[in-house]
Amino acid sequence: MNVPNVETGTLWSAFPLDEATVAQIEERFSKFLGKKLKLHLKVEPEIIGGIIVSIGDRIYDGSLKGQLSRIKEHLLDFQKGDMVDLVTGVKSSEQLTDMASVGEFIRERIQEYQQEFDVENVGRVVRSGDGVVLISGLSDCMYGELLRFEGGTFGIAFNLEEDAVGAVLLNNQNSVAAGTMVYSTGKMVQVPVGESLLGRVVNPLGQPLDGKGPIRPEGYREIENKAPGIYERDVVNQPLQTGLLAIDSMIPIGKGQRQLIIGDRQTGKTAIALDTIVNQKGKDVICVYVAIGQKASTVSQVINTLREMGAMDYTIVVSATASDSATMQYIAPYAGCAMAEYFMYKGRDVLIVYDDLSKHAVAYRTLSLLLRRPPGREAYPGDIFYLHSRLLERSAKLSKEKGGGSLTALPIIETQAGDISAYIPTNVISITDGQIFLEDELFFAGIRPAVNVGLSVSRVGKAAQIKAMAKVSGTLRLELAQYRELQVFSQFNSELDPSTQQLLAQGERITEMLKQEQYHPMDVVHQVILLYVVTRKMLLDVPVNRIQEFKQQFIEYMECYHRNVIENIRQSGDITEEDMAQIETAVKDFKPTFLKQ
């Protein structure tokens, strides 16, 4: 024998109801819900008239008290001789001249009152602490849904358990206590998007932090979005110049690529990202810088630097500092990505920097442990890989049918003692399309950017370089590798043959040529000319300590006397035999004058 599926609920009425009326209401709601329903009657005179039905975590409000609360709102629009219709909200043609007429008008509308159900999915906080709450009810809640708490606090549904929902709070964390009512919104967390965000500093919810007034967005976009599929993507073959000679020549970045910047603290990771943002000036590339878990003073320095370099005009800064909650740090990169995606789907090229995802993973671990999720390796939850993969996969070069926009990501990861085999570094390395590895030994030796060419790689390679750069940088990595190897052996032997001495001298000059000051990005054509000069061994007679001086003066000389070569390379993207011959002639003419200085 099958036991019927019976659900119980509560029926509130302003006055006692007979059994037949209760049975009629039960029948009506049983048809509506598709299951047998048993209601327990409770008399509550405060609801004035009508009924309220509570079934699980849903409330169907058809009471007169609920209607009157809406009437009260409409009464605020009352003006003498002009009345807003209390039912429809449309201004009435009746001319009401005194409050007696208003009272009569309200009585008429109450008599015409028809029952309407106001359905809400509600729950109640069971436990609250450290910005994390446990909620009973909310049976229809979705993962990642925005929840509204009594008192104006908002949160995100994080854990969907059998009889409870775990949520993290976004604001006013101390205002939520056990017993607080929680309401579903049916929406995911959204952030404002549009041109009005350019030049602004905002928190992960899109609220301004720079004191420049409110933001008037062109729309809103959910922070979690599905990454473009394979058929929506195009080949990554357009270079995104960083302005850094060492990177553009050997570890090129293409528009739509995800290139990891990895290294110990204080090795210049953020400097590379900022140089890349500064280098996009005048190139119609939108930039988004996401600061996660950093000191407020550090973020302030970054903003001031970008402003001084004129880069804030095309940049959005999303800041979740170390003093912000773990929840805000967790949603920061997703919010920044949503703002960047808006421009990508408009057909624009966008660069986004996540600084850094190590702190993002720590924030997520904090939330997961507070929600009592089972810990895994290094106490991180089991889905830590998915955390970053679903973020970085949203970077893409879209096909022409989708507008042809691109989103290039530069995630930053901090290592401990150069250990790139740790949990989070290996995760992100496997997700990205290459990495730029910065080494502290090189940094302290004065080689900046401190790029370890042996451990750095771009999986896009020469496809993301202009032809001229691909031609002149072909042997660069090999020559540097030979130099580093010979440098080690030369320490043990003072007598070296001439060919080895020449290799060491050439390696020293290449290394010196690749050094570059921070916030001084170099034009790609200037890079091509300098690389051609140094790889063709034209600088062996120039002292190593004067290479930096030679770089600056020779480019000025070329701009002044051989402007046609620079324009030819810039327009064609290639370097011809004639251009090469002219560069060699220019070196021969310039070098004697330079060496006499």
**Residues classed as catalytic:** 459
CA 564 to chain centre: 42
- The 10 Å CB-count burial string (b at 16+, else e) for 1-31 is eeeeeeeebebbbbeebeeeebeebbeebbe
Q: DSSP secondary structure string, 29-65? A: HHHHHTSEEEEEEEE-GGG-SEEEEEETTEEEEEEHH
The contacts found for 70-75 with CB under 8 angstroms, 24 or more apart, are: 71/106, 71/109
Torsion of CA 341, 342, 345, 350, to 10 degrees: -60
Q: In this structure, are residues 173 and 132 in contact, taking their beta carbons and an 8 Å threshold?
A: no
Q: Which residues have a Cβ under 8 Å from the Cβ of 382 and sit 6 or more positions away?
A: 374, 376
Q: Please, what sign has the CA dihedral across residues 282, 286, 292, 296? A: positive
Query: What is the Cα–Cα distance from 295 to 291, expressed in whole angstroms?
Result: 9
Q: DSSP secondary structure string, 462-478? A: GGGS-HHHHHHTTTHHH
Query: What is the Cα–Cα distance from 101 to 94, expressed in whole angstroms?
Result: 10
And the tokens for 41? 């009657």
Helix, strand or coil, per DSSP, at residue 2:
coil
Query: What is the Cα–Cα distance from 218 to 209, expressed in whole angstroms?
Result: 19
And the tokens for 569? 């390379």
For residue 52, what are the CA distances in angstroms to 66, 71, 270, 577? 9, 18, 58, 87
Q: What are phi and psi of 265, to 5 degrees?
A: -65, 150
Q: In this structure, are residues 440 and 264 in contact, taking their beta carbons and an 8 Å threshold?
A: yes
Tally of helices (H runs) and strands (E runs) in the chain:
18, 22
Q: Which residues have a Cβ under 8 Å from the Cβ of 520 and sit 6 or more positions away?
A: 243
And the tokens for 38? 């048993």
